[in-house]
Structure 1
Amino acid sequence: MRVKVKKVCKALFLMGFTVVISGCNHKEASKANEMIFPKGITVAENRFVDDLGRQVILSGINVVSKNKKENYLFRGGPEFYRDLKKWGFNSIRFIMIWDGLEPEPGVYNEAYLQEIDKRIQWAGDNGLFVILDMHQDLFSVKYADGAPEWATLDEGKSHITGDVWSDAYMMSPAVQTAFDNFWANKEVPNGVGLQDHYANLWQHIAKRYADNPTVIGYDVMNEPFPGSAALEATPILLKAYGELLYSISGQQRTEEELMLIWGDVNQRTEALKHIASQENFAKVIDALFPLTQTFESEFLQPFYQKVSNAIREVDSRSILFLEHSYFGNMGVRSSIERTKLPNGEYDPLVAYAPHGYDLVTDTEKASEASSERVNFIYNRIKEKGNALGMPVWMGEWGAFYDHGEGIVSVAQHAMDQIETHNYGNAYWSYDPGMEHQSYFKQVIIRPYPAYINGELVGYGNNFEKNILQVRWREDKNNKAPTIIYIPKLSSLDQENIDGSFNHKINRISKSDACWLIIPAIGQNEDRELTVSFNRS
């Protein structure tokens, strides 16, 4: 099908109303946009859906400042959120820090919350939905970010770090003890338990945003860590790895020898080659399942229920995003379950919010990530999402930073997996200037179906051939259009948009990006779209 789109004001009679394409009167265009773009997002069984009944692919990025001197607020103003819009994001994971929110027990920082309000408004003004994340790394601001010092009950234990920042999870008695006391809900001097403070804080936040449609939900805790119970993980993994080595080479290593290998960054990278295949990786990583199952079932699940109870007292609308434990990032199976409502029924507004990182993330060897390990991790996520009957939103993936051209293929492979499984996602994370990085320009900013009339069957970018293909099963009862993001209108090959339908172009202000608007046909029908484009 050949389609010509002229640069003049056009109108399309669609869904019983007029959609005005860019170039028309600004007020008319804004009104038209309000009629085809969503005002809210919720969950329907295992899909995210908007207020017009369409399936939604959440394509987002983490917006974060862990710097107390910046008041834990990313420096970007309204113009930054306009940039996120033109880059095609329709959502953000907005990081909040407990230390900034509750600097003293039971005392909430209204000034910080008002600054968060501003950023939520800027996001909403640009069609960006917000998931609020209560973030922590190594539990506390004493060691990285997260809990305030008054909530860090480390009993004076020592804090030990390693070559990679996350090594401290396994090495620091202070971090482990602080987590232990949190999971035990140990009381602070005011007589209130740590988890109770945390749940009360979430209730305070949920009450504030319960009626704000821009805020679609709450990511309850970033990467929950088991505490000192995780000390069992090292000997478990070493034993499993040693058995794998023996099966491969017939060479038997002592625990001390294996410790030396994994304690050195360079030797560790070499050792990872033995678990580059899915089969070998599973033999090692699955040894951790009993440990994570105990933690998630006996500690994490009751904690999620406690926070859910607090939130549902004041907010019955928003989505609860539940993460697996810290070890789930590596593909260890998760045992988390859907939380329940006060009446005992399972809460329908819950999403699975895993993170997925290869073992070389945060090292100089990030460009050498194993495609098979990544496939293994993403497949495990899919299995759990299916078992839970929840939509999957990968709250973190990537962390490619400034690794240069070598990371592009790694990014492409990860994005291919995200698209293959129809995951929502939020890339970790935005850093000033990253829009000039090759992986950002070539992979993170990519065409995708944002809002789909009916059920998305599948979609994917062929980065080599510069083609996007989308297949969906349209709903005859839904009159809303399917909307697809295109990064560069100037690169869109409009002569070769294949599909038995018309389309219109809705340009994004002050950019070369646009939305491809596909009118509804009013029939239950399988539809397929192929778009060719040129990234040069």
Structure 2
Amino acid sequence: MNYCRMSGVLALASLLWFGACQSGPKPDKNFLSVDGNRIVDEKGRTVILNGINYVTKDPNKYYDNVNDDRLFRQFRNRGINCVRFGLSWRGVEPEPGKINEKYLKEVDKRVRLAEENGIKLILDMHQDLYGGKYGNGAPDWATLDEGLPHKTGDIWSDAYLLSPAIHKAFDNFWNNAAAPDGVGIQDHYIFVWKTIAKRYVNSPSVIGFDIMNEPFSGSESRTILHKLLETYGTIVAESTGNTLSEKELLEMWGNESKRIEALKTLNEKESYRRIVDSAYEEVCAFEQGPLSQFYQKVRDVIREVNKKHILFLEHSYFCNLGVKSSFLIPKDREGNNDPLCVYAPHGYDLVTDTDEAANPDYNRVEVIFERIFEAGKEKRTPIVVGEWGAYYMGGEYLQPALHIIGIIEKALAGQTYWAYWKNIEKQDYFDKVISRYYPMETNGILLHYNNDYNNGKFVVEWEENNEKSVSRIYVPNINILKNIHIDLTPKSDIKIISIEGSNSGYLEIFPIGNKRSLIIPLQNQNLNHRNR
């Protein structure tokens, strides 16, 4: 039997046989937990994580963020209740087995700032192109490239596919090759996670641990790329009669302008599904082999010292493009899925980081997120989209950003936008996509919500399960509430709470134990947040 082919069928069968996901333990005060496909607080309220990435990749600037106290207040004021905060392996363990206390004390400061501002941190062990030798992440002593050459392309991420050095470094990581001290480099990485998990075991502002940013399969990626390009070439030949050689396909992909031109023809959902699905078995072999085994090892070591925090598990690098993820949720000692796990996918269109980043193809984007949410249902965990967007200065990004946040809202998923950078609040999408109305904490089951800008209204529906806990809606500008009609059905008491130092605040809705709906007109979207 080909297990990768059967995994989707087996996952569906498990849903039918076993029903809802196993709930996590009841969380301690101010900690978050998992209940089926929901993230919940200690009162059992559904929590939507609305956040942003904050990652410093330059080792010379790890400690330069001296104004983070002010920044975290701005995050709070703008409705950001979750920050995916980047950690660096080479920052934590600059020498084999030696923990950099100075680095972790800086992390301690951000953990305290998050707690002071009511923000949850996802601690993300970030890497790009494996390590600091080629990008950021692993220390040089753990970058076992065996002297192979490093090759780059027109776009920074092309090196994942082109560089023999990066392929070998990842191969050695998944094979747990020995570091200079004789200990496996994967074992070193897990030792770092155990250190962090133990250090923050009693920190409620840490929601959990993002085990690895965009796990990459190493040299097996060549086969995956071949499959994707081969299928693309077949589709081109079927539609035009023009047969492209493997060399021509590689040259097309390696040249940014040629790639963008080719992508203009790749705008039908069925064609794109056919391409990404062609690599499913190869990606599945990595995800259900080395990646799942790694997640299990990390989980077992973390649970020795920490049973409170959530594990955020990412899919393979290639799943960012729409290949459906199939990694296995790690098990507890009884053989059940660890109940404190969240699927943390990334989703990017193929034009990301190119000059056409502001013009993604919506059909491709919808297929990518379609595959993400299919995989989430099979994994039976909550979903927090850990990265999406990557819209930087310049360009008109509002419409593509609105399109994606609409997909995320419809799925009732959490999200952390990539990424915070100076003056992001001046971008066209910021006030409607990141700093927007959303249900922060909902009494009972959240059924639906969205910011419907076409019809000028924010809508949320939910089913209350008790008459004790209030539901809380983030409001970008509470002054607007004085001059508009709030449609709450059935009616109950409400309370408007301001956030000190800003015009923003919360709308608290007192429960009556019923199915509820709330409609707020969307007006004056240039909100001009005021920070003192």
TM (normalized to structure 2)? Answer: 0.91
Q: Do the aligned residues in 2 keep the contact of 1:493 with 1:531 (CA within 8 Å)? A: no
C-alpha separation in 1, matches of 2:157 and 2:66: 25
Structure 2 residue 522 is matched with structure 1 residue 533: yes
Paired amino acid for 2:484: E
Task: Tell me the CA shift for residue 441 of structure 1.
Answer: 2.4
Name 2:277's counterpart in structure 1: 286
Question: Is residue 2:476 matched to residue 1:487?
Answer: yes
CA gap 1:478/1:132 in 2 versus in 1, 3 angstroms: farther
Distance in structure 1 (CA, Å) of the matches to 2:257 and 2:454 = 32
Q: Counterpart of 1:260 in 2: which secondary structure?
A: helix
Aligned match of 1:450: 440
Q: 2:37 is matched with which residue?
A: 46
Q: Which moved more, 1:335-344 or 1:143-152?
A: 335-344
Answering whether residue 214 of structure 2 is matched by residue 229 of structure 1, we say: no
Q: In 2, Cα distance between the equivalents of 1:446 and 1:346? A: 34
Q: Which residues in structure 2 correspond to 1:419-438 (within 5 Å)? A: 419-438=409-428
SS in 1 for 2:459: strand
Do structure 1's residue 518 and structure 2's residue 487 form an aligned pair? no
Letter of the 1:355 counterpart: H
Q: Report deviation, 1:262.
A: 1.8
Find the counterpart in structure 2 of residue 195 from structure 1: 186
Change (3 A) 1:72 1:270: farther
Corresponding residue for residue 54 of structure 2: 63
Code of the residue aligned with 2:229 in structure 1: it is L
1:494 positional shift? 4.6
The aligned runs of 1:66-465 (5 Å cut-off) are: 66-71=57-62, 74-404=65-395, 406-465=396-455
**Cα pair 2:76 2:119 within 8 Å, conserved:** yes
Query: Which stretches in structure 2 are left out of the alignment for 5+ residues?
Result: 1-28, 527-532
Paired positions, count: 495
Once the two structures are TM-superposed, the CA of residue 478 in structure 1 deviates from its matched residue by 4.7
Distance 2:473 2:328 in 1: 33
Which deviations, in whole Å up to 9, do the C-alpha atoms of 1:336-356 show, x marking residues without a partner? 111112343321111101001
Conserved in 2, the CA contact under 8 Å of 1:64 and 1:74? no
Cα–Cα, structure 1 residues 478 and 138, in superposed 2: closer, same or farther, change >3 Å? farther
SS class of match (1:240): helix
Decide whether aligned partners of structure 1 residues 217 and 345 sit closer, same or farther in structure 2, where only a CA change above 3 A counts: same
Distance in 2 between residues matched to 1:260 and 1:318, nearest whole Å: 45
CA contact (8 A) 2:208 2:310 kept: yes
Question: Residue 481 of structure 1 aligns to which amino acid in structure 2?
Answer: V
Tell me which residue corresponds to 1:34. Answer: none
What secondary structure does 1:355 align onto?
coil
- Mark the CA change 1:62 to 1:74 in structure 2 (over 3 Å): closer, same or farther: farther
Given that 2:51 and 2:434 are in contact with CA atoms closer than 8 Å, whether structure 1 keeps it comes out as no
Any conservation in 1 of the 2:324–2:375 contact (CA below 8 Å)? yes
Equivalence map 1:15-30=2 (5 Å): none
Percent identical across equivalent pairs? 45
Shift of 1:381: 1.1
Amino acid at match of 1:80: L
Shift of the 384–76 alpha-carbon distance from structure 1 to 2, 3 Å rule, reads farther
Give per-residue Cα distances to partners, 1:257-302, cap 9 Å, x unaligned.
2222222211111111222221111111111111101111111000
Measure the CA separation in 2 of the matches of 1:161 and 1:505. 53
TM-score (norm 1): 0.90
What is the CA–CA distance in structure 2 between the aligned matches of 1:84 and 1:136, rounded to whole Å?
24
In structure 1, what is the Cα distance between the partners aligned to 2:239 and 2:115? 55
Which amino acid in structure 1 is aligned with residue 241 of structure 2? G
Task: Check whether the contact 2:80–2:434 (CA below 8 A) recurs between aligned residues.
Answer: no
Match of 1:12 in 2: none
Residue 250 of structure 1, CA deviation? 2.4
